[in-house]
Amino acid sequence: MTVAVQCEGVAKTFGASVEAVSPIDLHLVAGQTTALVGPSGCGKSTLLRMIAGLEVPSAGTVLIGGAPPSQTLRDADLAVAFQDPSLLPWRSVRRNIELALDLARRPKRAEEIEQLIRLVGLEGFADARPAELSGGMRQRAAIARALSTQPALLLLDEPFGAVDELTRQQLAQDLPALWEARGTTTLLVTHSVSEAVMLSDRVIVLSPRPARIVADVTIDLPRPRRPEMARDPDFGQFTEHVFAALSKGVADTLPKAAQ
């Protein structure tokens, strides 16, 4: 089952004056992976949280598969990997994953959980508490947890921030394969332009706060993507393009901020 996401004029203002997201129209195509890049503090997490139904937009509407996010939440049909891994410290990796399955009212199949833990490279650490893991390992546990409920919509907020380069490459191979097989609609927030290009079908570039879309780049590189493709001229063009949009967004905003 795949779902599309439609954001119409979605905006968020915190308090009276902190405008985090200016009205944004954004359509996530069902089954696609969309990356969201933008400077730090521009409102990426806020936009993601509004799509997840965790934050109420100040204006505009979000529809997931034609229904408001509250419906998707009720069906536990989305999963979020938060910027902070937010694993419960008193539960082991396995039990943290089991909690998600319990909360989503999904059956707990030991074999599937084991497979997920292996997928994110945590074999041998299933029974470790979060405190016994490194920052990157915790992030991977959070990814495994988000994948465990087989959500139709997967929202990842900088999931690889603390993950080392080699593991990141491995995950960049394995995760899209899984999403494709499941038809998961994925939104990936990231700071890394090359990671955005490598993983996604489409990259949305946001301006500094308040966020607005400054570029919408379709990445039509063949799948499956391999690490070697990073040296591909096409790949270089895409990253160049995204990077230019990113810089332009910042440059356009700077004079205004300086006034």
Partner 1 sequence: MTRYALGPIAALVLWELIARGLAGSFVLAPPSAIAVYLVENFGLIARALGVTLGNAAAGFVIGNCAAIALAACAIVWPRSDAAIRGAALLVFCLPLVATGPILRVVFGPGPWPQIVLAALAVYYTTLIPLLVGLRAVPSDWLDLLRSYGRGRFSALLHVRAMAALPYLVAGLQIAAPAAFLGAMVGEFTGAERGMGVLTIRAMRGMNVEMTWTLAAVATAVAMLGYWGIGAIAARMLQEDPPVILAAPAALKGGGLGTAAMVAFLVVLVWDVGLRLLDLNTFFAKGPLDVFDALALAPDARDTWSILLRALGETAVFLVPGYFAGLVLGALIAMLIVLVPSVAGTAMPIAIALRSVPIITTAPLVVLLMGRGAAGTMVLVAIMVFFPTLIACLHGLRQAPSRVMDVMNSYAAGPLQQLMRVRIPAMLPAFFAAARMNVPASVLAVTVVEWLATGNGIGSTMALSASVSDYDLLWSAVVIVSLLCVVGYGVVGLVERRVLRVYAPEQLA
Q: Of the candidates 22, 33, 34, 46, which one interacts with ligand ATP according to CB under 6 A?
A: 46
Contact (CB, 8 A) for 25 and 34: no
Helices 135-148 and 110-119, axial angle in degrees (round to 10): 140
- The answer to whether residue 82 forms part of the interface with partner 1 (CB under 8 A) is yes
- The answer to whether residue 189 forms part of the interface with partner 1 (CB under 8 A) is no
As a whole number of angstroms, the distance between CA 88 and CA 118 comes to 20
With CB atoms as reference, the residue minimizing the distance to Mg ion is 45
Q: Of the candidates 11, 28, 80, 175, which one interacts with partner 1 according to CB under 8 A?
A: 80
Reduce the DSSP state of residue 23 to 3 states and report it. Answer: strand
Among partner 1, Mg ion, ligand ATP, none, what binds residue 154 when CB lies within 5 to 8 Å by partner kind? none
b/e string for 61-79 if b means 16 or more Cβ within 10 A? ebbbbeeebeebeeeebbb
| Closer residue to partner 1 in complex, CB, 73/250 | 73
Residue 94 Cα to chain centre, angstroms: 22
Which residues between 128 and 167 bind partner 1 (CB under 8 A)? 149
Q: Of the candidates 2, 13, 45, 71, which one interacts with Mg ion according to CB under 5 A?
A: 45
Minimum gap (Å) between residue 199 Cβ and ligand ATP: 17
Stretch that binds partner 1, among 2-10, 99-107, 173-181, 247-255 (CB under 8 A): 99-107
The three-point CA angle 8-11-16 to 5° equals 155
Give the containing element (helix H, strand E) for 145.
Answer: helix 135-148
- The answer to whether residue 90 forms part of the interface with ligand ATP (CB under 6 A) is no
Q: Measured over all CA atoms, what is the biggest interatomic distance in the chain, rounded to whole angstroms?
A: 59
Q: Which residues bind ligand ATP (CB under 6 A)?
A: 14, 18, 20, 38, 40-46, 83, 209
Q: Which residues bind partner 1 (CB under 8 A)?
A: 49, 52-54, 73-76, 78-80, 82, 84, 86, 88, 90, 99-100, 102-104, 149
